[in-house]
Structure 1
Amino acid sequence: MATRLLHLHLHRHRLEKGTTLSFNRLLSLSLWFRAFCDYRAILRNSLPFNEALDLFTRMVESRPLPSTVDFTKLLTAISKSKRFDVVIALCNHLETLGIPHDLYTCNLVMNCFSRSSQPHLASSFLGKMMKLGFSPDIVTFTSLVNGNRPEDAMYIVNQMGIEPDVVMYTTLIESLCRNGLVDNAMSLFNQMEIKADAVTYTSLVNGLCNSGRLSDAVSLLNDMMRRRINPDVVTFNALIDGFVKKGKLLEAREVYSEMIRVSVAPDVFTYTSLINGLCMEGRVDEAKEMFYSMEDKGCFPDVVAYTSLINGFCKSRKVEYGMKLFYEMTQRGLLGNTVTYTALIQGFCQVGRHKAAQEFFSQMVSRGVSPNIRTYNVLLHGLCLNGKLGKALLIFEDIQKREIDVNIITYTIIIQGMCKAGKLRDAVDLFCSLPSKGMKPNVVTYSTMISGLFREGFKLEAHVLFRKMKEDGVLQN
């Protein structure tokens, strides 16, 4: 497809009727000549994909041909539109025109292969690159890591004959952690023959925290400080957020205290994590106090910080204060996102104000904030919980018409609403239709249906369904 598109553009200006150029054609060429004389100025600005491709077409038609550097600048601009296959095709065309690659072009092609529909070809291009006489560098290596299985990347580096530096090690450690291969990252870290820097340590601390290995992350932080490598705010934030997500607020605050002790200034992410931790424990007044203390320390709350506190108040059934924060946020020029609106909709539903929840949902849509499936699930659950099955079913039908990816949680909510409203037959019909919709009931779905059957006196059927749940392996851990 990319090659066909390329040829269409390259020949578009040659397909003229007759042998004589029209006045309009001559005029356009004249205008282009003036523009082309200053194509370097054009390349300094970002170009839309079609304009960049058109400029490439005219550049290859010009004589003398522009330099490799100029073509590479243009190809870099095209790559920013994520049309990686097109860039590869254009580079191949340059070769047929006798325009040689340089190291920068090779690295661009390598990066495009890594991010294209055929990332495995990055390794093949490496061989070609080396045959051309170019020694791979850190940019080449980074592309290889992104385009190959990270556990194979160091082998490739060794084959390249490159002596890995700290940047290479860090890049690979980040990639391993990002792919969930934290043990591999730790092993590589311990094998490093050069001194790790703060970025290397932080990458591994972050990977350990994301894997829930907080004690290992703390040990690494202590090792880092013992070696007089100063952690920064990103290092501390990874630990604080990791502890908060595990429900260990006390440990998170200890890390915060250590952060202050070594004179590392907290940022908005630090405070947001701690505010979220306080809210998770229902300590919303303390969270509010920390929220408003941020500005005194020169750190201004963003939408995420506001949303964390709004969510905390809504979960504590203090939706009015959540709305107060929402309006305050709006007055500061910060626009609520999907998470913000969803938190408030859930807050209204929890206190039985389903009309307010629906109105706020309508306001959300009218302001151009797109609801996600969680938003719909929250609203549906609130309506069903408040006995408004009819309205829930209308919204459920609307979701299906919009082709939103409905999940098993959505179906479970509706089944639960049907059982609560005494519409057991409808609930059974919907439950039985789940396999045809590509949905697998989970333990909550089964439990909802079993409870509904028991409540209506269908004890035998409930026992049969319970046995089926066990046979399906739903109860297994």
Structure 2
Amino acid sequence: MYRAVWVSRLRFIVSSSSSKLTPILSRGRGRSGIDNGVGCSCSCSRSVTTFIGNDFIRCQDEATRKMLEVQIINALRSGESHEASALLLKFIHGKDSLSAYDFHGILECCGRVPDPVFVMETYSVMCKKEISLDSRSLFFIVQALCKGGHLDKASEFIHALSGISPILPVYNHFLGACAKTSSWNYASKCLELMDQRRVGKDELTYIALLKLAVFQRNLSSVNEILKHYVDHYSLNIRSLKRFIWSFSRLGDLKTAYELLQHMVALASRGEPFVEFNRGKLHSTRLDIPIPSSGQRGLEKIAFRVNDPTASLMLDAHGKNIVECKSSGEQSNEIESSKVALAEGHNKTPATSILRWSFSDVIYACGKSKNSKLAEQLMLQMQSLGLQPSLHTYDGFIRAVAFPEGYEYGMALLEVMQQQNLKPYDSTLATVSAYCSRALQVDLAEHLLDQVSECSYTYPFNHLLAACDSLDQPERAIRVFARMKQLKLRPDMWTYELLFSIFGNVNAPYEEGNMLSQVDCSKRINAIEMDMLRNGFQHSTLSRQNVLRALGAEGMVNEMLRHLQKAENMYLETPTYNIVLYSLLQADETDMVIKIFKRMKACGYPADPATYNIMIDCCRFIQSYESACALVSMMIRDGFSPEVRTYTSLMKILLNDGNIKEALNLFDQASLEGMHLDLLSYNTILRKSFEKGHIEVVEYIVALMHREKVNPDPTTCHFVFSCYVENGYHTTAIEALNVLSLRMLNEETKESLQEKKKELEENFVMCEDPETEIKIIELFRNSQDDLALAAALLNLRWCSMLGARIIWSEDQSSWARELSNKYG
């Protein structure tokens, strides 16, 4: 309650005092004896009550005043502003005259606490007593206002300065406060004033300007500050640390690396390390025997080093960091400097700064994914005996780990564990995201379970995306619950993934039914409610995921209602495509045509996917003429027919029984350089098998072989069944044998020839009833293994029918005959 009262008092005091800053700060020398001091006006809009009575204590001597000063400071430190105000009134009443010196302790305490309210109250009292301000009292006032967040009033004080000296520390502190709050406007006015008054600059000024430039993301300004700095001062370890941090934050790794190597060279020579500690200078020497390798005489950063070429790797168990290869000047330097720090030297100030500067550059490498430089610097740290910190590992893992090499990130976590270092939550999150992108969901979830605090959603979103890819909604529920446990607010990507994961219930395994549709509606509504509670509206992708989920469940009416809501906002063509495709799958051809016409009428342009959906719709309504008209529209809009377009047209012709026209269209696509896919071939094979056209089947098989389109189990089924239905059983088995071999890639075929005896004994001719299960286990890893498993099952079937297994299609008379006939 007291603090609220004093805040209102501050507004009143400042408003009544600021208008008088110019006359207040224009008076001459005061009682303090400071040359060029600033006097204070005796008129102050805030009245000061004088207590008269038996309880009034006059300050008769210096001891009493000192006692009151201590009591005021203690009250301020305890937050008793009301008590401090009462004591201040007693402090100023006495026979002895007061000077600015008498208020230094109080004002300094206001600057440290900070208490901008009381500092302005004290300033008002000083004005009442016509006490001149000196440079120290002015500094404390500006300090209290800056720390209290009142840069505007601090700026007014600085602009009202007149004749106080020295005043550069005041400007420096104000610039530093501007840097902390990114208040460039106030800083710019201060710099202009410093130029007008010819105040000059010192090292602290450059430090403040450096911070301002970094917060502005102004790399050219940082380069300019470095240039001016080295023109006036010698770079030391502490100043290099600030410049290395600046260039690292702004992504200039080349300059940051060069400055870091200069710091190492200074450390190797035992350059004095100077730091300020309450006004006393301390010097520390870094005892590291590091050869400077040609950088010894460089004074103003006029040096360049070769690009780093050393690399850092982990052994197979992730336990040791070893150097694999080094070359070039810098690498030779590192080779010759593999001397660890002496015992206890890792905690000297200079060594700590060197360690942090390495960490800053390595962390910048992590942001830019510069793994080569990060490995080089980590190797150099090892050579110097500098123990990597948690910050170092955090940046290093970001630089060298990647989705395909997530094992490297896991190995580095193991290294940290062996060094008894607990990784940052951000480090665990980074490695978890890499594991998720590699679909290693068990590892990713395990790492996120170790995170204690998290303010970013990306690792959880990556894991949700992996759950979506692997169709693991149960795991996704745990991931989202973990986010809630950490009180992590979802972002739009989170909701887009949730709609994709939980929107549809049965698809793609079963068709929607009444129960699944009710469940789907509940899920979507729950996600939408949570999204609205967190202040999010549907994005394009989230809307598309909802429409796709509703369409997959067969909820046509609900899907159309969502579409109508979305049409009140801007829609994109892909959104309409999702609706058109879902309606087509639901055999709602009339609605497909209606939505397409509405889409065109609203001015939304059709894309190739739209046209292909509508051409496929013509297959359901059996209208080849309409399909050709759509192809014409497609070409007029600047889109060329695709493989899918030709496939849809052929399906329409085949449904009409016009195989000849379908083959002509097939040949036309080939003549136009269209590389038809397996679906196109299987489309003709299916209809040819149904009609019993063996010649067409053989022609398509020969064409596939010529165009190097590998068959799949569906192809084998159509060809085998066509021969069987026409009574050619021996040919059917031989064709199945050959097509099974053609399903394999060349590498697998070569391996097959080497292992055919083993495969015959263990899979093809084996009488073990568990053989089929063993074959099925083969396709768990990749698509190639799936083809091999299917081929082995077919060959086993051929063997069970009593046929001799052919391991090379050159041994097949059927294959040679087709090649001669249609080659």
Q: TM-score normalised by the shorter chain: which range applies? A: 0.5 to 0.7
Measured in 1, the distance between the counterparts of 2:393 and 2:605 equals 43
Query: Structure 1, residues 23-73: CA drift from partner, whole Å, max 9, x if none?
Result: xxxxxxxxxxxxxxxxxxxx99xxxxxxxxxxxxxxxxxxxxxxx99xx88
Structure 1 residue 391 corresponds to structure 2 residue 661:
yes
CA positional deviation for 1:306: 0.8
- The answer to whether the 8 A contact 1:389-1:421 is kept is no
- The answer to whether the 8 A contact 1:249-1:274 is kept is no
Query: Which runs of structure 2 are paired with 1:289-328 in the superposition (5 Å)?
Result: 289-295=561-567, 299-328=569-598
CA distance 1:204–1:354, change in 2 (3 Å): same
**Which residue number in structure 2 is paired with residue 258 of structure 1?**
526
- The answer to whether the 8 A contact 1:243-1:251 is kept is no
Structure 1 residue 127 corresponds to structure 2 residue 375:
yes
- The answer to whether the 8 A contact 2:453-2:486 is kept is no
**Which residue number in structure 1 is paired with residue 555 of structure 2?**
283
For 2:604, what is the secondary structure of its paired residue?
coil
Measured in 1, the distance between the counterparts of 2:415 and 2:664 equals 62
- The answer to whether the 8 A contact 1:214-1:239 is kept is no
Structure 1 residue 98 corresponds to structure 2 residue 366:
no
Query: Structure 1, residues 262-300: CA drift from partner, whole Å, max 9, x if none?
Result: 32444333332232233233332332122102356xx54
CA distance 1:100–1:431, change in 2 (3 Å): closer
**Which residue number in structure 1 is paired with residue 83 of structure 2?**
none
Equivalences, count: 381
Query: Structure 1, residues 199-233: CA drift from partner, whole Å, max 9, x if none?
Result: 33333222222211101111222332244333334
CA distance 1:369–1:433, change in 2 (3 Å): closer
For 2:488, what is the secondary structure of its paired residue?
coil
1:217 to 476, 481, 487: 476
CA positional deviation for 1:309: 1.0
Query: Which runs of structure 2 are paired with 1:33-112 in the superposition (5 Å)?
Result: 98=304
Query: Structure 1, residues 169-225: CA drift from partner, whole Å, max 9, x if none?
Result: 434323222222112211222233654643333332222222111011112223322
- The answer to whether the 8 A contact 1:202-1:234 is kept is yes
**Which residue number in structure 2 is paired with residue 440 of structure 1?**
710
CA distance 1:159–1:226, change in 2 (3 Å): closer
Query: Structure 1, residues 415-441: CA drift from partner, whole Å, max 9, x if none?
Result: 234445654223123325544543332
CA positional deviation for 1:110: 8.1
- The answer to whether the 8 A contact 1:450-1:466 is kept is yes
2:489 to 204, 225, 230: 230
CA distance 1:260–1:101, change in 2 (3 Å): same
Tell me which amino acid in the other structure corresponds to 1:406: L
Percent identity of paired positions between Structure 1 and Structure 2: 16
**Which residue number in structure 2 is paired with residue 380 of structure 1?**
650
Structure 1 residue 474 corresponds to structure 2 residue 797:
no
Query: Which runs of structure 2 are paired with 1:383-462 in the superposition (5 Å)?
Result: 383-420=653-690, 423-432=693-702, 434-459=704-729, 461-462=731-732
Measured in 1, the distance between the counterparts of 2:502 and 2:463 equals 16
Measured in 2, the distance between the counterparts of 1:362 and 1:234 equals 39
CA distance 1:446–1:377, change in 2 (3 Å): same
CA positional deviation for 1:307: 0.8
Tell me which amino acid in the other structure corresponds to 2:400: L
- The answer to whether the 8 A contact 1:241-1:252 is kept is no
Structure 2: 5+ residue stretches without partners: 1-218, 221-246, 255-302, 309-357, 382-387, 508-515, 741-763, 765-787, 795-823
Query: Which runs of structure 2 are paired with 1:159-238 in the superposition (5 Å)?
Result: 164-192=423-451, 194-195=453-454, 197-238=456-497
Measured in 1, the distance between the counterparts of 2:692 and 2:674 equals 28
Measured in 2, the distance between the counterparts of 1:305 and 1:294 equals 9
CA distance 1:443–1:154, change in 2 (3 Å): closer
**Which residue number in structure 1 is paired with residue 544 of structure 2?**
272
- The answer to whether the 8 A contact 1:315-1:347 is kept is no
**Which residue number in structure 2 is paired with residue 11 of structure 1?**
none
For 1:474, what is the secondary structure of its paired residue?
helix
CA distance 1:396–1:99, change in 2 (3 Å): farther
CA distance 1:434–1:252, change in 2 (3 Å): same
Tell me which amino acid in the other structure corresponds to 1:186: E
**Which residue number in structure 1 is paired with residue 152 of structure 2?**
none
Tell me which amino acid in the other structure corresponds to 1:474: A
Measured in 2, the distance between the counterparts of 1:108 and 1:220 equals 30
**Which residue number in structure 1 is paired with residue 406 of structure 2?**
150
- The answer to whether the 8 A contact 2:371-2:399 is kept is no
Q: TM-score, normalised by structure 2?
A: 0.40
CA positional deviation for 1:391: 3.4
**Which residue number in structure 2 is paired with residue 361 of structure 1?**
631
Higher relative contact order, structure no. (Cα contacts within 8 Å, ≥ 6 residues apart)? 1
Structure 1: 5+ residue stretches without partners: 1-42, 45-67, 76-96, 115-121
CA distance 1:258–1:321, change in 2 (3 Å): closer
CA distance 1:402–1:125, change in 2 (3 Å): farther
Q: Which shows bigger deviation, 422-431 or 306-315?
A: 422-431
Measured in 2, the distance between the counterparts of 1:144 and 1:217 equals 28
Query: Structure 1, residues 359-418: CA drift from partner, whole Å, max 9, x if none?
Result: 312322332335443343333333322223333333323433454443322221232344
CA positional deviation for 1:448: 1.8
Tell me which amino acid in the other structure corresponds to 2:648: V
Query: Structure 1, residues 124-165: CA drift from partner, whole Å, max 9, x if none?
Result: 443334568899687764443338612212434776999754
Tell me which amino acid in the other structure corresponds to 1:258: A
- The answer to whether the 8 A contact 2:583-2:591 is kept is yes
Pick the structure with greater CA Rg.
Answer: 2
CA distance 1:165–1:362, change in 2 (3 Å): farther
Measured in 1, the distance between the counterparts of 2:393 and 2:603 equals 45
For 1:149, what is the secondary structure of its paired residue?
helix
Tell me which amino acid in the other structure corresponds to 2:460: Y
- The answer to whether the 8 A contact 1:317-1:351 is kept is no
- The answer to whether the 8 A contact 1:146-1:175 is kept is yes
Tell me which amino acid in the other structure corresponds to 1:377: T
Measured in 2, the distance between the counterparts of 1:111 and 1:371 equals 43
Tell me which amino acid in the other structure corresponds to 1:259: I
Measured in 2, the distance between the counterparts of 1:398 and 1:167 equals 57
Q: Which shows bigger deviation, 216-225 or 403-412?
A: 403-412
Q: Which has the higher helix share?
A: 1
Measured in 2, the distance between the counterparts of 1:283 and 1:209 equals 21
CA positional deviation for 1:357: 1.6
Q: TM-score, normalised by structure 1?
A: 0.65
Q: Which shows bigger deviation, 467-476 or 178-187?
A: 467-476
Measured in 1, the distance between the counterparts of 2:606 and 2:361 equals 43
**Which residue number in structure 1 is paired with residue 605 of structure 2?**
335
CA distance 1:132–1:376, change in 2 (3 Å): farther
CA distance 1:373–1:176, change in 2 (3 Å): farther
- The answer to whether the 8 A contact 2:499-2:527 is kept is no
